[in-house]
């Protein structure tokens, strides 16, 4: 049997996960990484490499993750238990280096300049790839391509949406250019773009470990969006009232992906930060807001997000359409052969690494069926969420993971586990939906998955216990018998209602 040659574009967290998954299947791999090191957008650098993709971490030394380490990890590789729950980018890079095997066939600083179909693509599914390294070009042929280059690589700066900005005499730039506050001392700065949601939930638990559970996912599906919005907004406003702070958006909570942050309210209370309405127009030295107020400013920082592009991909509608339509956010339906995949090009409500890592399918439907499904998802997103780059590729963590896991045979068999391993079943159902759940069975079964699930609560609490407290105990949990009774009731209701 001929060994397939696969090219992986990008050695960020998605690319490294793709490498490991492919190595388990046995193809000949080559990874092309344009920069000098692994890590992609999560690697901090003091200076940009000219012409290289922008890193969202690269210019902000203080960046910390939004998702808890237990929901961010690769599914078969734990974070060290002493690591904090929300990771500084340096800790994230340490973890990525531990996960990666630097002996892999990585072509460091090899830039892919062009990918196009081979002349006999309709029969072979092969691709022509042009690579630049050390000032020279190399031509390669691959049986398959996995594009894992940065989703957040191109700063989105819609200046046309801000009348008068061109005549503003101060400095203005995208937030990716911001590194540290020293050179802005004493300046009046306007930051465009914000909303706020705490990382920490009740009992000081990371919010995603409390909210992203199978139990709550089922409950959420039985409630209307209006009820969920009301409950979520009341909960968040109990911490600080968004209307009082001037942070109340025009849309409801579920209609847009929120931004996380714990420090903003304290800065508002202390008077270090003023919250204003949307910008109506700029003058030479001021910003005029939609409520009629005006403020003198020296600098404008646009925190308006990122977009992505594929400049190396041949401009061919039979490869990818103008809307970057992807089945399951992985496969374009246009090519005659499904030998091109995009990994990590979605916005999960949860960890990026697990959702990227699981992106594989055993069998694809027809091109027409894929197109129909893409349109269905797009129509759903347009109805549910505000129009934004951030929400047009939004996926729900558990639903997306389960959907693909069922296809490849790794979704936890909860009903069976309830009878044969009730302790584990309860953890899976009521606890955070950590990626280890998808290594209990099927392809890639991991011997440590069960232990990782049973000890995840201890791993969350350990970094918080930095002093020895005599007679200290962990917060009491729900009695086991009550969890068991609840589990039985929920399973019965699930079987009846779904």
Cα separation, 113 vs 341, whole angstroms: 17
Question: What's the CATH number for 5-153+307-403?
Answer: 3.50.50.60
Q: What is the pLDDT of residue 25?
A: 81
List pLDDT tens digits, range 147-164.
998 667 788 888 999 999
- DSSP code for 113: E
Distance of CA 433 to the CA centre of its chain: 15
State both tokens at 169: 């005499």
**Fold match between domain 5-153+307-403 and domain 155-305:** yes
Q: How many CB atoms lie within 10 A of CB 480?
A: 11
The answer to whether 437 and 77 have CB atoms below 8 angstroms apart is: no
Q: Show the DSSP H helices in 347-467 as ranges.
A: 352-357, 367-384, 397-408, 414-420, 422-430, 449-454, 456-461
Q: How far apart are CA 296 and CA 285, in angstroms?
A: 6
In angstroms, rounded to a whole number, what is the distance separating the alpha carbons of residues 369 and 338?
14
The CA distance from 88 to 78, in Å, is 17
Two structure tokens written together for 113: 């300049």
What residues in the chain have per-residue pLDDT under 50?
A: 53, 57-59, 103, 476-477, 496-497
Q: How many CB atoms lie within 10 A of CB 450?
A: 19
Q: Which two tokens stand for residue 154?
A: 């191109």
CA 62 – CA 87 distance, rounded (Å): 10
Q: Which two tokens stand for residue 261?
A: 């942050």
Query: Given this model, what pLDDT does residue 245 score?
Result: 64
**Under 8 Å between Cβ of 341 and 359:** yes
Residues in the chain: 498
CA angle 137, 138, 143 (to 5 degrees): 140
Which region, left, alpha or beta, applies to residue 171 given φ > 0 means left and ψ of -120 to 50 means alpha?
Answer: beta
Query: What's the CA gap between 304 and 301, in Å, rounded?
Result: 9
Place of tokens 């849309």: 251
Q: Extract the tokens encoding 188.
A: 């009046």
DSSP 238-279: HHS-TTTTT---SS-GGGSPPPB-SSHHHHHHTTS------E
- Residue 88 near residue 16, CB atoms below 8 Å: no
- Tell me the β-bridge partners of 254: none
Domain range annotation of the chain: 5-153+307-403, 155-305, 413-497
Beta-sheet strand order (sheet of 5-9): 106-108, 28-33, 5-9, 144-147, 340-342
Sheet with strand 136-142: strands edge to edge: 111-117, 127-133, 136-142
Domain covering 155-305 in this structure, CATH number: 3.50.50.60
Whole-angstrom Cα distance, residue 262 to residue 201?
A: 11
**Torsion region of 191: left, alpha or beta (phi above 0 gives left; psi -120 to 50 gives alpha):** beta
Pair type for strands 299-302 and 127-133: unpaired
pLDDT for 299 equals 96
Biggest CA–CA distance in the chain, Å, is 73
For residues 429 and 215, is the Cβ–Cβ distance under 8 A? yes
């Amino acid at each position: 049997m001929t060994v397939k040659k696969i090219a992986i574009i990008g050695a960020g967290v998605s690319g490294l996960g793709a490498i490991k998954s492919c190595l388990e299947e046995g193809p000949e791999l080559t990874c092309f990484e344009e920069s000098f090191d692994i890590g992609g957008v999560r690697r901090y650098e003091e200076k940009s490499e000219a012409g290289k993709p922008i890193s969202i971490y690269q210019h902000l030394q203080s960046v910390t993750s939004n998702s808890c380490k237990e929901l961010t990890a690769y599914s078969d590789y734990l974070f060290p238990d002493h690591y904090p729950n929300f990771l500084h980018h340096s800790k994230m890079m340490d973890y990525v280096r531990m996960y990666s095997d630097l002996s892999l066939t990585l072509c460091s600083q090899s830039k892919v300049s062009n990918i196009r179909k081979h002349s006999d693509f309709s029969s072979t599914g092969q691709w022509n790839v042009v690579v630049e390294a050390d000032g020279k070009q190399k031509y390669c042929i691959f049986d398959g391509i996995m594009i894992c280059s940065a989703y957040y690589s191109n700063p989105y700066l819609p200046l046309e949406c801000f009348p008068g900005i061109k005549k503003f005499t101060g400095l203005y730039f995208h937030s990716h250019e911001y590194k540290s506050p020293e050179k802005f001392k004493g300046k009046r700065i306007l930051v465009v773009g914000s909303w706020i949601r705490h990382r920490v939930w009740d009992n000081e638990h990371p919010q995603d470990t409390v909210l992203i559970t199978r139990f709550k996912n089922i409950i959420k599906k039985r409630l209307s969006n209006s009820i969920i919005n009301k409950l979520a907004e009341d909960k968040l406003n109990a911490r600080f009232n968004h209307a009082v702070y001037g942070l109340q958006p025009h849309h409801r909570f579920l209609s847009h992906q929120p931004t996380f942050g714990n420090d903003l309210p304290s800065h508002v209370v202390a008077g270090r930060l003023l919250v204003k309405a949307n910008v109506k127009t700029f003058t030479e030295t001021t910003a005029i807001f939609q409520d009629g107020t005006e403020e003198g400013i020296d600098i404008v920082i646009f925190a308006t997000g990122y977009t992505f592009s594929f400049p190396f991909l041949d401009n061919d509608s039979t490869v990818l359409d103008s809307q970057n339509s992807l089945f399951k956010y992985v496969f374009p339906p246009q090519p005659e052969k499904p030998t091109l995949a995009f990994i990590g090009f979605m916005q999960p409500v949860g960890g990026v690494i697990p959702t990227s890592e699981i992106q594989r399918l055993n069998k694809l439907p027809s091109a027409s069926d894929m197109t129909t499904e893409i349109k269905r998802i797009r129509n759903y997103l347009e109805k549910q969420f505000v129009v934004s780059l951030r929400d047009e590729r939004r996926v729900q963590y558990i639903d997306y993971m389960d959907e693909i896991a069922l296809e490849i045979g790794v979704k936890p068999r909860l009903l069976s586990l309830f009878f044969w391993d009730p302790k584990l079943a309860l953890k899976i159902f009521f606890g955070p939906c950590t990626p280890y759940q998808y290594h209990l069975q099927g392809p890639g079964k991991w011997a440590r998955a069960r232990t990782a699930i049973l000890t995840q609560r201890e791993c969350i609490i350990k970094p918080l216990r930095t002093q020895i407290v005599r007679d200290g105990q962990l917060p009491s949990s729900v009695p086991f018998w009550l969890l068991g009774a609840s589990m039985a009731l929920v399973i019965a209701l699930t079987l009846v209602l779904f």
